[in-house]
Chains A and B, each alone.
Chain A
Amino acid sequence: MEKKILETPFVKVEPELCKGCGLCIEACPPQVLKFHSKFNSKGYHYAYYIGENCTGCGVCFYACPEPEAIIVYKKGYEYVGEEVA
């Protein structure tokens, strides 16, 4: 498959792995994470990326206590397929 290089930083929050603590939302410098109005199967209003202006700073990754709930892709990240979406 074709290799792509990420132009715009991107943050992915895994809805099912988020406990809705809100620490990433509080921490995010450009304020691009919000609580979703829906809740996940565990009953938490999970965080989500509003879709623009992520700077890829990674602050939310270290604010999040969950191992796998947040993935931050920085500019220049090489990937294939739909990994970053």
Chain B
Amino acid sequence: MASKVLKKPRSFYDIYERNPSPDKKMPHYCPGCGHGNVHKFIAEALDDFDVADRTVFVSPVGCSVFAYYYFDTGNTQAAHGRAPAVATGTKRALPHSIVISYQGDGDLAAIGTAEILHAANRGESMTVFFINNAIYGMTGGQMAPTTLIDQRTTTTPTGRSAHNEGFPIKVAELISQLEAPVYVERVALFDNKQRARARMAVRKAIKNQVDNLGFSLVEILSPCPSGWKMDPVDSMKWIRDVMMNQFPLGVYKDITKEVEPYIHEPYHPTAEEIKKLIEIIPESDKHFARSDVPERYKDPQIKVAGFGGQGVLLLGAALAQAGMLQDYHVSWLPSYGPEMRGGTANCHVNIREIEVGSPMVSNPTVLIALNRPSLEKFEPDVVPGGLIIYDKSLIDIDVKRTDVEVLAIPATKMADELGNTRTANMITMAAYAAYTGQFDKETLYETLKSAIKRQRLIEINRKAVDAGYEFGLKNRKK
């Protein structure tokens, strides 16, 4: 039913908190700014489709950054250009919401080009309103990707030249070339007829999402009287006489009659499915009694360090896993460079009787160093009275500190003799467990079941545990 009154849509707040004036009823936009018209069209459509309560409006960076002060909907504000990514996340998590990504040309067509292309290409079920005013309005009228050829801006004082700054990016044309979008139209705000078309386009783009049809984008040629240094009425004429020549209006794509509605329900795998997917052997539900640990080795804060590829992180994770089997509070914090092999890697492990406050271990009570740079780097950090375990077969220097315990183990050599050099980490782990009495052998065996993904390697790692354990016991400090 057509309403007998045209007034502020309910999807706008009554009061705009940010406004410094006492009435708080005026948005911050300049006189004659097109944002106001498009906001009105959107709010009216949200009213009419009765979807404001399930709408999430994503504000961009640009003049419309404060849209969340105006729309009485769910609101988020995205980093510059990232509104389509934020909108994607919102829509994927809440597939029954109506997600609106509202962006300007600096936001969508410059810094956010990749975001919009891929969101459109994935056919995310969202509605994008692209406000094209051919400049960066908020920052004072610099050239934007959409600036017209020959248009003067503060950064193209002699006019945009195709040779120097390239051609204006035509977003509606670009997006319409992709397969997934269902509706792409370019409209303008310059006269009553065009405003009516723009209003219908805004409504259709929102309705498409209400009907779960997919990705819609409406590009709106919109005046920026302040940035263009024109009065509002002349701005409208400029859109009609100049801007429209380079940005032709029209429907660039509409396959809404051909597509089937589709709701992308999120996939929530169960914990069991996740374990299967990432090939984790179901966790043991076994629990082991805690070993009788001498006072000075209790509550270890461990740093394990070495080259990437030595199994440094796995060694630490196995220690934490063993701790869990004995119902300790544990943490494991890896730290490594981008290299899979050959870089440096270290990890921080806490095995505590009380809850772990911080997973960081800056001053370890136990340092396990698998190469020389790690020993040199972290030896000074070990607390007095702490323990340093290092791989003697790879490190040709001695520990200089005299206020710490030292266990030098030829782990790599021992691993070689077992037939697999890469088990040096498990040998070292077992040596630590035996030396300090932290874990018994049965706990370590159980740990291997979840720490070692490949079943065929479990046997060799059990041998490594045996060898390391024996070494640790033999060298225990009396």
Q: Is B278 an interface residue (CB 8 A)?
A: no
**Interface contact B23-A16, CB-CB below 8 Å:** yes
**Interface contact A61-B6, CB-CB below 8 Å:** yes
Question: Which of B5, B29, B225 is close to A74, meaning CB atoms less than 8 Å apart?
Answer: B5
Q: Is A71 an interface residue (CB 8 A)?
A: yes
* Closest chain A CB from B29 CB (angstroms): 6
* Closest chain B CB from A18 CB (angstroms): 9
A23-B233, A63-B195, A64-B36 are contacts. A17–B25 as well, Cβ < 8 Å?
yes
Scan residues 17-58 of chain A and give those whose CB is less than 8 A from a CB of chain B: 17, 19-23, 26-27, 29, 42, 44, 58
A62-B199, A65-B34, A67-B39 are contacts. A22–B5 as well, Cβ < 8 Å?
no
**Interface contact A23-B4, CB-CB below 8 Å:** no
Q: Is B232 an interface residue (CB 8 A)?
A: yes
Instruction: Name B198's closest neighbour in chain A (CB-CB).
Output: A62
**Interface contact B236-A68, CB-CB below 8 Å:** no
Question: Which of A21, A26, A66, A77 is close to B5, meaning CB atoms less than 8 Å apart?
Answer: A77
Chain A interface helix/strand/loop/mixed:
loop
> Number of contact residues on B: which range applies?
35 or more
Once bound together, how far apart are the Cα atoms of A62 and B42, in whole Å? 12
Once bound together, how far apart are the Cα atoms of A44 and B31, in whole Å? 9
Report B-chain residues with C-beta under 8 Å of the C-beta of A22: 32, 231-233
Question: Which of B3, B8, B37, B232 is close to A68, meaning CB atoms less than 8 Å apart?
Answer: B8
Instruction: Name B23's closest neighbour in chain A (CB-CB).
Output: A16
Q: Is B70 an interface residue (CB 8 A)?
A: yes
Once bound together, how far apart are the Cα atoms of A50 and B70, in whole Å? 31
Q: CB-CB contacts of B17-49 with A at 8 A, as 1s and 0s?
A: 000010101110111111111011101000000
Once bound together, how far apart are the Cα atoms of A44 and B5, in whole Å? 26
Question: Which of A42, A62, A66 is close to B196, meaning CB atoms less than 8 Å apart?
Answer: A62
Report A-chain residues with C-beta under 8 Å of the C-beta of B232: 21-23
**Interface contact B233-A26, CB-CB below 8 Å:** yes
**Interface contact A74-B4, CB-CB below 8 Å:** yes
Report B-chain residues with C-beta under 8 Å of the C-beta of A76: 4
**Interface contact A66-B21, CB-CB below 8 Å:** no
**21 contacting pairs across A/B (C-beta < 8 A):** A16-B23, A17-B26, A23-B232, A23-B233, A27-B195, A29-B192, A42-B21, A62-B41, A63-B37, A63-B195, A65-B34, A65-B35, A65-B37, A67-B25, A67-B43, A70-B6, A72-B5, A72-B6, A72-B7, A73-B5, A77-B5
Chain A interface (Cβ < 8 Å from any Cβ of B): 6, 16-17, 19-23, 26-27, 29, 42, 44, 58-59, 61-68, 70-78
Given A62-B192, A67-B12, 10 other A-B contacts at CB below 8 A?
A19-B26, A21-B32, A21-B233, A22-B232, A26-B233, A44-B31, A63-B192, A68-B7, A70-B6, A72-B6
Top 7 closest A-B pairs, CB basis? A65-B36, A21-B32, A19-B31, A77-B4, A21-B31, A21-B232, A61-B6
